[in-house]
Amino acid sequence: MEPQPVAVLHATERREASAAPREATAVAVLTALAALAPFLLGFLSVAPNRLLSPRLVPLPVTTATTLCLGLFLVACLAVMLLARRAPLLNWAEAAAALALCSLVAVIGLAAREALQGASPVARAAPAAGLWVAMLLLALAAGCCAAGRSGTPRNFMALSVLGLAVLWAAGALADLSLAREAMARGGEIRLAFWQHLALAGGALFLALAVALPLSLLALRRSRVEALLMAVANGFQVIPSIALFGLLMGPLAALAAWAPALRGWGIGGIGPAPAVLGISTYLLLPLASAFLAGLRVASPAVIDAARGQGLTEGAILRQLRLPLGLGVMAGGVRVAAVQAIGLATLAALIGGGGLGALVFQGIGQLATDLILLGVLPVVALSLLADGGCAALQAALERRR
């Protein structure tokens, strides 16, 4: 993650060719492939029941599906045309979101059509075409945003909004993914909140350790060397091994002091997961905090000291306000990592969305795996986008 040099590079190159931005070709190719993907790889597959493997079916032709399909193709064309002008890249992103939502609508409506008159255990699932098209559209939107901040915020926000509207309108209710989600509504909600709690708890714990240590390390180089060595050292250890290593000692601790079990501390459960995740967050947090606290140049700090400001006042009035943007960048990296790492917590009984993923792996049930993975990806994209916006706001205020 070194966004600055890339951004500088983009800015200069953009100036050279303001008419057709260099993103245009990549966006056009990706979007064209996205438009073709469902036609080549299929829209919908239907299985007589949950256990039999699904077969591709032709797209049922009704007014609604034709309209939505037309909208999808028009939106794809719009993405390609809008991306040819640098100032319109934001609109190209919005058009990509429209394309994505209309394709999902096509498949949702087609599923309803295909299942009419079929037995109630029949399942309709999107074929590979939808997933490939979604991936390509997301990449195209990413290309549109590559020159700006790297995260296609407009695309993400509009897609989430559009999909929520489709869901609320009941257009997706006949897809097997939606049926599985309905059947497991409570389980998914619980896993979602557990996941947030795991990631949030780990982030909070890591912040509580990294912030004071960074402040201390600012003055004492030996503390800094030790902090960075420890934080770096943990990065090397694979997460699954660290979780495993933490289980034994925590189980022993709980056996030695059974009262701790009441707090949820034991070898199995959220405690080793939160502890394990937070150790990986130390490096991004501590290095960004130290870099942020050093944004204020030594000359400025000296001048402030000369004016008689105390160290506390220098910290509050100079170091923190000036370095806040850089520090938020570290929180951004850490938040995304925490959400990803929390997926593995389910392995050691910590719950979270990973529990759905591992259950899906055990049953080789694609729907279940997707129900676990999609929210994780959405969460980390949202966390990344949200933190990026916060970071931009903090840097602008400076």
Partner 1 sequence: MILLLGNLLLFLVALAAAPRLGWLWQALFPGISRPVWDSQSWFALLAEHLMLALGATLIAALIGLSAAILATRPAGRALRPLLDSMFSLAQAVPPIAAIALALPLMGFGAAPTLLALVLYAALPVMRSAVAGLDAVPAAVLDAARGTGMGPGRILAQIELPLALPVIQAGLRVALVLAIATTAVGAVAGARCLGTPIVTGLANGNLSWVLQGAVFTAWLAVIADQALRLGLDPERRRSNGRLAPAR
Which chain residues interact with partner 1 by CB under 8 A? 1, 6, 22-27, 29-30, 138-143, 145-147, 150-152, 232, 235-245, 247-248, 251, 267, 280, 284, 333, 336-337, 340-341, 343-344, 347-348, 354, 357-358, 360-361, 364, 366, 369-370, 372-373, 376-377, 380-381, 384
Q: Which is nearer to partner 1, 252 or 257 (CB)?
A: 252
> Which positions ≥6 away from 358 have C-beta within 8 Å?
346, 347, 372
The nearest distance, CB 181 to partner 1, in angstroms, is 17
Rounded to whole angstroms, how far apart are CA atoms 48 and 55?
A: 9
* Residue 124, helix vs strand vs coil: strand
Rounded to whole angstroms, how far apart are CA atoms 376 and 195?
A: 9
Q: Which is nearer to partner 1, 112 or 153 (CB)?
A: 153
Q: Which is nearer to partner 1, 82 or 341 (CB)?
A: 341
Q: Which is nearer to partner 1, 87 or 308 (CB)?
A: 87
Nearest to 163, CA basis, from 189, 181, 148: 181
The nearest distance, CB 167 to partner 1, in angstroms, is 21
Rounded to whole angstroms, how far apart are CA atoms 355 and 312?
A: 46
Name the DSSP class of 175.
Answer: B
Region of 126 on the Ramachandran plot (φ > 0 left; ψ -120 to 50 alpha; else beta) = beta
The nearest distance, CB 91 to partner 1, in angstroms, is 17
The nearest distance, CB 278 to partner 1, in angstroms, is 14
Per-residue tokens: 392: 């931009």
- Which amino acid is residue 112, in one-letter code? R
The nearest distance, CB 127 to partner 1, in angstroms, is 12
Per-residue tokens: 316: 């509050």
* Residue 47, helix vs strand vs coil: strand
Rounded to whole angstroms, how far apart are CA atoms 256 and 236?
A: 30
The nearest distance, CB 273 to partner 1, in angstroms, is 12
The nearest distance, CB 365 to partner 1, in angstroms, is 8
Nearest to 206, CA basis, from 374, 330, 314: 330
What length is written for the chain?
398
CB 36 within 8 A of CB 49: no
- Which amino acid is residue 64, in one-letter code? A
The nearest distance, CB 239 to partner 1, in angstroms, is 5
Q: Which is nearer to partner 1, 13 or 395 (CB)?
A: 13
CB 352 within 8 A of CB 187: no
**Furthest-apart CA atoms within the chain: distance in Å:** 84
Q: Which is nearer to partner 1, 143 or 274 (CB)?
A: 143
Nearest to 327, CA basis, from 282, 297, 286, 298: 286
How many C-beta neighbours within 10 Å does residue 382 have?
18
Q: Which is nearer to partner 1, 21 or 65 (CB)?
A: 21
Q: Which is nearer to partner 1, 167 or 358 (CB)?
A: 358
CB 124 within 8 A of CB 43: no
Q: Which is nearer to partner 1, 111 or 336 (CB)?
A: 336
The nearest distance, CB 92 to partner 1, in angstroms, is 12
Q: Which is nearer to partner 1, 144 or 295 (CB)?
A: 144
The nearest distance, CB 143 to partner 1, in angstroms, is 4
